[in-house]
């Protein structure tokens, strides 16, 4: 019963794939995204949109609720839209000697003193490629981290040979972020109660930064000594075999998942080779 | 006679240094959060890396930097692309620290210049080649304005990055200097490069205490 509570039982076959397999899928997907970006139809890399469909497809097939997915993904989406916008309106050409193709010239009115925004074709193509690349890679990483618990990932990496101290540092970092985050709010409130101004112009706010962060870091660093003692007393540093209480196992569908990924990738590789040869 | 100190990877990654890394990562995270909470136009996510580099050398600093961007990348995948920037901050700071480049004020200025150059050389190509100049942070608006006024992507990004990255690093270094000043000598001594930062007063106090106590073989740690 106790072990059951420690182990995470996932029912979705895709979400419970072995973490290393998922890492392979992420890697293949990202590399392929770069390759597909070079397949152009009339200058536009339309296939990137098709390739991108795998991200929401995988996410919903893994049973991730839309809100969770959206929270992480929206940040990247905003960056991508900004990239397209700026490239589209501002980037005219790749370099000297290339012709500037203006796609759309809008005239809001016929008044001579209204500036009409133009969309440059090169900027649009470049922007689409850059942002779709980012969306693809970021999206697949979002899928990875939303279907894999951090301790599953560390355990799988350890099984593949990562040193146990590295795993500890990784897990400890995630914990320390929470701890220091809570401490920082406490310290900021305490300093505010002592009269440190946190609202106002940039310089006032900058002055508020130092008294907030110095006590935080200081207490964290000086507490390290005790934590070292604790770890050493628990045998962390001794060069003996360690036992693990948390296990990660393959769920049997890894071969199928990798097979499908490689097959789909090969389709596009062949497409690219054919395009190149012609 | 003072022998030149030999740095080994094993000594760099002692238990105290290993435990410094999660703290460095957390500081970077919190620093970034505080910066956006107070709406400052800086990233302030290298404070921990610089601290780790100054205290425990380049490799510990580099690991702290890389891990920061991996962990923050989980929440905001854009940060994955900037792993090299944080790693280089850690490496440069660590090597400068080994060369004791933080002891006099003029050495600080040289270190700052080296740091600023290293940061821009590593950050600008990523911003231009991967993001086309726009990363979604506060400085992107400024970059976009410069681009709209006709400058090329490279010069807009580099000019904006130059100003804000340099300021960012200066603030981070000042914070680290303040912190190291307050860390007690007995903690500093446990880190590879910590001995450079022990103040003269503490050194004098230790030596006078050492004269009274029986002579011990000093351990090379």
Neighbours of B83 (CB within 10 A): 17
Q: What are phi and psi of B211, to 5 degrees?
A: -65, -35
Which residue on chain B is closest to A237 by alpha carbon? B15
Instruction: Tell me what pLDDT residue B66 has.
Output: 93
Q: How far is A9 from chain B (nearest CA, A)?
A: 22
Residue with tokens 């709209």: B148
Residue A144 to residues A53, A173, A190, B71, B105, Cα–Cα distance (Å): 15, 19, 39, 13, 47
Same domain, A50 and A181: no
What is the distance between the alpha carbons of residues A34 and B59, in angstroms, rounded to a whole number?
31
| Contact yes or no for A10/A16 (Cβ under 8 A) | yes
Over chain A, what is the mean pLDDT?
78
Cβ pair A208:B38 closer than 8 A: yes
Mean pLDDT for the stretch of residues A34-49: 78
Nearest to B61 by CA among B86, B34, B81: B86
Domain count, chain A: 2
Residues of A in contact with B76 (CB under 8 A): 72, 75-76
Pick the CATH number of B9-212 from 1.20.1250.20, 1.10.260.40, 3.90.1150.10, 1.10.1760.20: 1.10.1760.20
Residue in A closest to B42 by C-alpha:
A206
CA of residue B117 relative to chain centroid, distance: 14
Q: Look up the domain containing A264 and give its range.
A: 12-148+252-277
Q: How far apart are CA A53 and CA A47, in angstroms?
A: 10
For the stretch A125-136, pLDDT in tens is: 778 888 888 888
Give the best residue of B22, B136, B171 to mutate against chain A (max A CB count within 10 A).
B22
Under DSSP, is residue B76 helix (H, G, I), strand (E, B) or coil?
Answer: coil
Sorting pLDDT into bands at 50, 70 and 90, what band is B221? very low
Nearest to A140 by CA among A30, A214, A230, A246: A30
**Whole-angstrom Cα distance, residue A105 to residue A123?**
14
Residue A119 pairs in a beta bridge with A104
Its ipTM equals 0.78
- Chain A residue with the nearest C-alpha to that of B182: A218
Is residue A219 pLDDT above 70, yes or no? yes
| Cβ-Cβ contacts under 8 Å, A153 against chain B | none
Residue A243, in any domain of the structure: no
Query: What residue spans define the domains of chain B?
Result: 9-212
Is the pLDDT confidence value at B218 over 80?
no
User: Which pair of tokens denotes residue B125?
Assistant: 């190509």
CB contact under 8 A, A221 and B179: yes
Asked if A108 and A54 sit in the same domain, the reply is yes
B contacts of A89 (beta carbons < 8 Å) = 148
Which pTM was predicted? 0.78
User: Which of A22-31, A61-70, A173-182, B210-219 shows the lowest per-residue confidence on average (mean pLDDT)?
Assistant: B210-219
Long-range contacts of B148-157 (CB under 8 A, 24+ apart): B148/A89, B148/A90, B153/A91, B153/B128, B154/B124, B154/B128, B157/B124, B157/B127, B157/B128, B157/B133
């Amino acid at each position: 019963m106790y072990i059951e509570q420690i182990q995470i039982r996932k029912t979705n076959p895709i979400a419970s794939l072995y973490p290393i397999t998922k890492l392979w899928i992420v890697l293949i997907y990202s590399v392929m995204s770069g390759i597909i970006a070079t397949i152009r139809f009339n200058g536009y890399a339309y296939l990137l949109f098709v390739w991108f469909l795998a991200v929401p497809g995988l996410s919903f097939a893994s049973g991730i609720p839309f809100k969770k997915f959206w929270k992480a993904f929206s940040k990247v989406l905003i960056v991508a839209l900004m990239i397209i916008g700026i490239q589209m309106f501002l980037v005219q050409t790749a370099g000297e000697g290339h012709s500037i193709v203006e796609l759309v010239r809008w005239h809001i009115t016929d008044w001579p003193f209204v500036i009409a925004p133009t969309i440059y074709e090169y900027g649009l193509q470049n922007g689409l490629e850059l942002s779709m690349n980012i969306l693809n890679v970021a999206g697949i990483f979002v899928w990875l981290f939303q279907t894999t618990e951090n301790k599953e990932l560390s355990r799988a990496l350890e099984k593949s040979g990562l040193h146990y101290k590295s795993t500890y540092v990784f897990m400890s970092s995630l914990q320390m972020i929470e701890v220091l985050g809570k401490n920082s709010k406490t310290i900021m409130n305490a300093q505010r109660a002592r009269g440190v101004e946190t609202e106002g112009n940039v310089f006032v706010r900058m002055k508020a930064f130092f008294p907030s962060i110095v006590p935080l870091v200081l207490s964290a660093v000086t507490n390290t000594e005790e934590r070292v003692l604790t770890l050493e007393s628990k045998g962390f540093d001794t060069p003996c075999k360690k036992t693990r209480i948390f296990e990660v196992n393959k769920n049997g569908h890894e071969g199928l998942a990798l097979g499908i990924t490689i097959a789909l990738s090969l389709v596009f590789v062949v497409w690219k080779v054919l395009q190149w040869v012609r | 006679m003072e022998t030149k100190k030999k740095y080994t990877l094993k000594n760099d990654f002692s238990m105290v240094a290993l435990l410094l890394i999660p703290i460095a990562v957390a500081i970077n995270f919190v620093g970034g959060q505080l910066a956006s909470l107070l709406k400052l136009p800086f990233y302030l996510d290298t404070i921990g890396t610089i601290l780790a580099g100054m205290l425990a050398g380049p490799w510990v600093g580099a690991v702290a930097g890389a891990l920061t961007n991996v962990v923050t990348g989980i929440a905001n995948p854009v940060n994955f692309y900037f792993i090299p920037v944080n790693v280089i901050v850690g490496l440069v700071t660590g090597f400068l620290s080994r060369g004791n480049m933080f002891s006099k004020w003029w050495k600080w200025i040289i270190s700052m210049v080296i740091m600023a150059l290293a940061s821009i050389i590593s950050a600008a190509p990523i911003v231009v080649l991967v993001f086309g100049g726009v990363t979604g942070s506060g400085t992107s608006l400024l970059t976009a304005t410069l681009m709209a006024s006709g400058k090329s992507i490279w010069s807009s990004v580099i000019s904006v990055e130059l100003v804000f990255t340099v300021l960012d690093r200066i603030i981070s270094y000042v914070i680290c200097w303040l912190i190291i000043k307050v860390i007690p000598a007995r903690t500093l001594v446990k880190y590879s490069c910590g001995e450079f930062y022990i103040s003269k007063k503490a050194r004098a106090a230790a030596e006078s205490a050492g004269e009274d106590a029986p002579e011990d073989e000093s351990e090379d740690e």
